[in-house]
Structure 1
Amino acid sequence: MKPRLREYEPDDMMKVRNFIIRTHSLLGQPNSWGIDRWEFVPYCQEKKNGTLEQWLSRIGIWERENGEIAAVACDDGDAYFLLDTWEPGAALMHEMFEYAANHLLFSEPGRRITRNALAITAGMKGMEHIAASRGYVREPQADIMLSMELDRHYDVILAPGFVIKDGNEVNDQKKALGHIRAFDYEGTDEAVDTMIHYGNIRNAPDYRAELDLFVMNPSGEVVSFCGLWHDEINHIAILEPVGTHKDYRRKGLGKAVIYEGLNRLRRLGVREVYVGSDQPFYRSIGMQKEHLLHRWVRHF
């Protein structure tokens, strides 16, 4: 029997989190979202933006007769399908496309094309075939996730006066200011909201203060940082967020804080780490293996 569509319910945060973990176990790689994004978006991003209720209202969940989640549709700019199989049934896929069209995709004003895209994991041939049959066109660019195996100790080198501290030692105001300066939006309304709400990430189910790492300069300011999300079942972790103040780049600080994180992860038994980015910096520190999400826009 085809899974039944229902709306998001309050206790689904952990259910979907567990579904994402199970998905990685079944596929041996990420499908679309990891636990990092599933938790960072509501606990930090949407909370800060004041749009959490609207975001939750757009989530669709397909459930099997035994109550097990079969699929999830959600958005973060683009629309995403979370699935635990490479080839879902055709009936389920068509229903998910209908849901995306009605709840997650938006038309470009004055043009017969969607403003945002539907992301489909490379290798999902059945999904790609249905997308093409429904008027979707694959764009040249793709979202790329890199990964690396943790097979050695990583040397952490810092200039004199700089130290690494974790979330037990750095307050939320310093963390927020570090984020604002790393992504260069100081003095904006968004920065005001970040200062108020950034600390809410501590409430996320998989937040671990000892894996929330910061480089402090001699003045005690956050100048580089990385967050690590540990999936204990699959022995993997994901980097999110990562940033360095623009005045402190090319000094080895980002590499140092990430390497400190990798060493901590190895001690926890983590075998592989992922990051949702294709920046040359990540390749320079050893990340190579690619997982692709292709972007499909719909033409009417």
Structure 2
Amino acid sequence: MAYRKIRYDPSRDFLRVRDFLASTTRRLGTLFTWDISRWNYARHFVVPYRGGREGIGTWEDRLGIWEADGAIAGVVNGEIPGPGIAFLQLDPRHEAILDDMLSHAEQRFAMNREGRPRVTIAVHDPFRDQFGDRLAARGFQPSAGEPEWMSERPICGLETVALPPRFNLRSMADNDNVEARRTVLGLAFGHADPAEWVTPETYRELQRAPDYRKDLDLYVVAPDGAFAACCIAWHDPANRVGTFEPVGTHPAYRRLGLGRAVIMEGINRLAALGATRAWVGSGQAFYGAIGFAKKYKEIIWEKRL
């Protein structure tokens, strides 16, 4: 089979990559690559939050795409604008391009640490199981640190959404209040300084993601009108799965069951769309307590150049 490496063109390739990720997951029945939520969230939130409009172009320039007979066979991408971790998205039927993908990662994502250049890649455990020997032969070694987890929960029917008195659950389709939405997001993730919060324009950029839906961008309203908890659910109809990213609760409203409530509402809305599973990119005990179980590991491998 003939392969070729092409330059990423966002107008042509963003949705092609999204569909490649979804179809690879569906065919394999396991999370061999990113899911579609992470692809949307990286480009439309993480990258502009970390690097502004200029950062989007930098991120796009680092991407590598490989095609086989005009169809995507593999992608190497980052999650932030600058160098750092390279994520390998490979359809294992096209393992012939793996060495070229690793070379791209070494050339485009290496950075100096502890006085010498290193390259770091991240793959899910099914990838490791199939290609770990080849990574080791290229000089990559797996990290001994705790992996990142993707946890899974079955969607079996309607869940109870329990809120304290005078708290209400709404979505951005009901009231598109970006100022209040960015406030709860910033505070939920430990940013007391408003200068560290996502800007209104960056939140609007997130809302421009192709798979973002305002009716799945949920929040809890406290009696004083403040947004007290929030989450976004991303629906992948090809795999009948919904992913929660991000999820957070305002520090002043924790231990009231609001995080659970907003997720249960998200699960009910995903169920109405036909989803049979929910994912969340975390292995925290909170998610275990509401029915999620650790499912997939993302493993870091590093090479000194």
Determine the C-alpha separation between the residues in 2 that align with 1:196 and 1:21: 28
User: Which residue in the other structure is 2:179 paired with?
Assistant: 173
CA shift, 1:245, in A, is: 1.1
Whether 1:189 aligns to 2:195 is yes
Whether 1:119 aligns to 2:126 is no
CA shift, 1:44, in A, is: 1.8
User: Which residue in the other structure is 1:23 paired with?
Assistant: 24
User: Which residue in the other structure is 1:131 paired with?
Assistant: 135
- RMSD of aligned Cα (Å): 1.6
Determine the C-alpha separation between the residues in 1 that align with 2:4 and 2:133: 23
- Read off the aligned partner of 1:283 and give its amino acid letter: G
> Matched residue of 1:95: which SS?
helix
> Matched residue of 1:123: which SS?
helix
- Read off the aligned partner of 1:72 and give its amino acid letter: V
Query: Contact 1:224–1:253 at 8 Å: present in 2 too?
Result: yes
- Read off the aligned partner of 1:60 and give its amino acid letter: G
Query: Contact 1:137–1:299 at 8 Å: present in 2 too?
Result: no
CA shift, 1:188, in A, is: 5.2
Determine the C-alpha separation between the residues in 1 that align with 2:194 and 2:262: 27
CA shift, 1:126, in A, is: 4.2
Query: Contact 2:73–2:94 at 8 Å: present in 1 too?
Result: no
Query: Contact 1:240–1:275 at 8 Å: present in 2 too?
Result: yes
Query: Contact 1:59–1:74 at 8 Å: present in 2 too?
Result: yes
Q: Deviations over 1:143-184 (max 9, x none)?
A: 110001111321111001110000112311111111111112
> Matched residue of 1:281: which SS?
helix
Determine the C-alpha separation between the residues in 2 that align with 1:107 and 1:155: 50
CA shift, 1:186, in A, is: 3.0
> Matched residue of 1:107: which SS?
strand
Greater shift, 261-270 or 26-35, is seen at: 26-35
Determine the C-alpha separation between the residues in 1 that align with 2:229 and 2:204: 17
User: Which of residues 77, 91, 96 in structure 2 aligns to 1:74?
Assistant: 77
User: Which residue in the other structure is 1:62 paired with?
Assistant: 66
Q: CA distance change for structure 1 residues 113 and 42 in 2, over 3 Å: closer, same or farther?
A: closer
CA shift, 1:113, in A, is: 4.1
- Read off the aligned partner of 1:82 and give its amino acid letter: Q
Determine the C-alpha separation between the residues in 1 that align with 2:141 and 2:5: 26
User: Which residue in the other structure is 1:8 paired with?
Assistant: 8
Whether 1:217 aligns to 2:222 is yes
Whether 1:278 aligns to 2:283 is yes
> Matched residue of 1:4: which SS?
strand
Q: How does 1:34-113 map to 2 (within 5 A)?
A: 34-48=35-49, 49-50=51-52, 51-65=55-69, 67-76=70-79, 77-85=84-92, 88-89=94-95, 91-111=96-116, 113=118
Whether 1:241 aligns to 2:246 is yes
Between the two proteins, what is the percent identity of the paired residues?
A: 33
* Structure 2 gap ranges (5+): none
